[in-house]
Amino acid sequence: MKKLATLFAAAMLTVSVSAQTVQESKTFDNVYLGINAGLATKTTDHASWAKDLTPNFGVRLGRNFTPVWGLAVESNIYFKTTNGFTTGTFVNFMNTSLLGTTNFSNWFGGYKGEPRAFEVSAVYGLGWGHMFTNNREEFGKMNNLTSKIGLDFAFNLGQQKAWQIYVEPSLNYALNGDGYQGVQYNIDRSAFQLNVGLVYKFKNSNGTHNFAIATGRDQSEIDALNAKINSLRSDLNDQDAKNKQTIADKDKQISDLQKALEDCQNKPAPKAATVTNLQPTVIFGQGKSSVDAAQYAPIELIANYMKNHKDAKVEIKGYASPEGSKEINEKLSVARAEAVKNILVKRYKISADRLTTKGMGATDKLFEQVEFNRVATFNDVTKD
């Protein structure tokens, strides 16, 4: 029993190793179905290997979880021996087992992307045996715990290695039974079996009937990706420095505009028809018409101005810096003016009929610093 446990533990250790070399399998990948048949003979002192041969037939359904390790369910039925011994039924015995499988060829030789033409694997596990008889008093206990230990000498066939023929010698133990105390591996309660099997491996999601090697990146590709990442980080750091300076400039401009607005609010509202330039401006990113959150401050100043001057009507003019084509800058200037108007209407509840917009196209005359010309400005166009 200890030997079986040690073999099973060793097979489990190979899972993490072999799984790293192949593509990930889906639930129903690497499933196979097979049939087998052969002869068994008892390994007791009184058994005659030449005469006491028991024919059997079985079915095996299994799945390989890695190129090394797998599990299978196998069920075999046994008929009367060749010397005429029988329990009185056509089928004398049935054994159903849960088997672990370990592919020694892939374990020690590595998996190369497809099965070898010839492979050696171990099979081992526990099962349930049932005797069919018309005379229970003569044969005693009908059910017992079983164990199988064997080797598969397998030949993989076909261009895709979908078919496999194997020869399997094995020892099959009855671990408990009449006269037994507990569970034992006893050679006098075992049988030697030699079977030949045929297996078909179903097609997998990877398009083959077997495991496929995972494709890795070569070192030159990894080095190129690392170089690209480092370049992007450097660009990001440079951009952060520029953004910090731009934010500082904008903060100063907002402070100046806030002071100008406060001065303006202290003056009486105009009575006659006038066109008054209001100082706050909204600055946009290059090629953008969306309003950055930092630019809501000057818009809020205009909203407060219009709330304090109920009759005031404001024209919003959009501008673009000289980069780009004239057609694009015309559209961009209009979009910037409309974006500011929408914020005044939706966020600050200024009536839309008090606001007009106008796209002024590209300019470099408003501010000496080029990017400050990507703005929207405000004019009070109130009339009597």
pLDDT at 194: 95
In 254-281, which positions are buried (b, 16+ CB within 10 angstroms) versus exposed (e)? beebeeebeebeeeeebeeeeeeebbbb
Residue 338 is predicted with a pLDDT of 93
pLDDT at residue 18, as a whole number: 44
Phi, then psi, of 130 in degrees rounded to 5: -135, 130
Structure tokens at 333: 């200037």
In the chain, residues under CATH classification 3.30.1330.60 are 219-380
User: Considering the domain 219-380, what is its CATH architecture?
Assistant: 2-Layer Sandwich (3.30)
CA 214/CA 342 separation, integer angstroms: 54
* Rounded Cα–Cα distance for residues 144 and 178 (Å): 9
d(CA 32, CA 236) in angstroms, rounded, equals 54
Regions of the chain where pLDDT drops below 50: 1, 4, 7-8, 10-11, 13-20, 270-275, 384
At how many degrees (to 10) do helices 326-346 and 296-308 cross?
Answer: 60
Euclidean distance between CA atoms 96 and 127, whole angstroms: 5
In the sheet that holds 314-320, the strands lie side by side as: 276-283, 375-380, 314-320, 355-362
Nearest alpha carbon to residue 281 among 370, 367, 200: 367
Prediction pTM value: 0.52
Q: What is the pLDDT of residues 178-229, one digit of tens each?
A: 656 678 888 888 889 999 999 999 999 888 999 888 776 677 878 888 888 9
Task: Compute CA distances 191 → 84, 156, 195, 382, whole Å.
Answer: 17, 28, 13, 109
Give the per-residue pLDDT at 193. 93
E strands present in 240-302: 276-283
CA 190, CA 43: separation in Å to the nearest integer?
6
pLDDT of residue 252: 81
User: What is the domain class of 2-201 according to CATH?
Assistant: mainly beta
CATH 2.40.160.20 in the chain is located at 2-201
pLDDT of residue 201: 95
Q: Which pLDDT does position 137 carry in this prediction? A: 56
Q: Give the model's pLDDT for residue 93.
A: 85
pLDDT for res 353? 92
Q: Which three-class secondary structure state does DSSP give residue 378?
A: strand
